[in-house]
Structure 1
Amino acid sequence: MKGFLGFVCFVLLSQGVGGLLHTWTDGWFTLWALTHRIGFLDGYHVYVDVLLIVLGLAVGSAGEKVKSSA
């Protein structure tokens, strides 16, 4: 479970940071910017990216509190 939460944390953080980099570089950084490809998020990309970063940090801290199963 701890490994899965770590993976989810990585995905959320990378999507949030990648989306912010995509916004700040005027579309130059497209590697991890999946939020800009979703149509109904038009105009809310920065808010969604910040939310993804906050969720990633929350999942990461929850993953640290989970006991190892091994």
Structure 2
Amino acid sequence: MSCALVVGGISGLFSDHLAGFRLFGFVHYLVPGGHETAGYAGLVVLGTALAVVTGRIGRAR
């Protein structure tokens, strides 16, 4: 899941700045209109944080 958020956020940033490039269409529904750049960057940060937390939990066991 965290990988999908990171890749989807990066894909959204690319589609926001390069018109016509759409790899993951689901991220369009996760980000409110008018706040695309901040929303996609937030998805990248959220996915990265989720990956770090789950990695630490996995190592602790």
Instruction: Indicate the TM-score class for this superposition, using the shorter chain for normalisation.
Output: 0.7 to 0.9
Residue 18 of structure 2: aligned partner: 25
**Alignment check: 8 A CA contact 1:19 1:34 kept:** no
1:47 aligns with 2:38: yes
Query: What 5-or-longer segments of structure 1 have no aligned partner?
Result: 1-7
The letter of the residue matching 2:53 is A
Question: Counterparts of 1:41 and 1:55 in 2: how far apart (Å)?
Answer: 16
How much does 1:66 deviate? 1.4
Identity over the aligned pairs, expressed in percent?
A: 22
Secondary structure class of the residue paired with 1:31: coil
Residue 57 of structure 1: aligned partner: 48
Structure 1 range deviating more: 59-68 or 11-20: 59-68
Runs of 4 or more consecutive aligned structure 1 residues displaced over 4 Å after TM superposition:
none
The letter of the residue matching 1:10 is C
How much does 1:49 deviate? 0.2
Greater C-alpha Rg = 1
Residue 3 of structure 2: aligned partner: 10
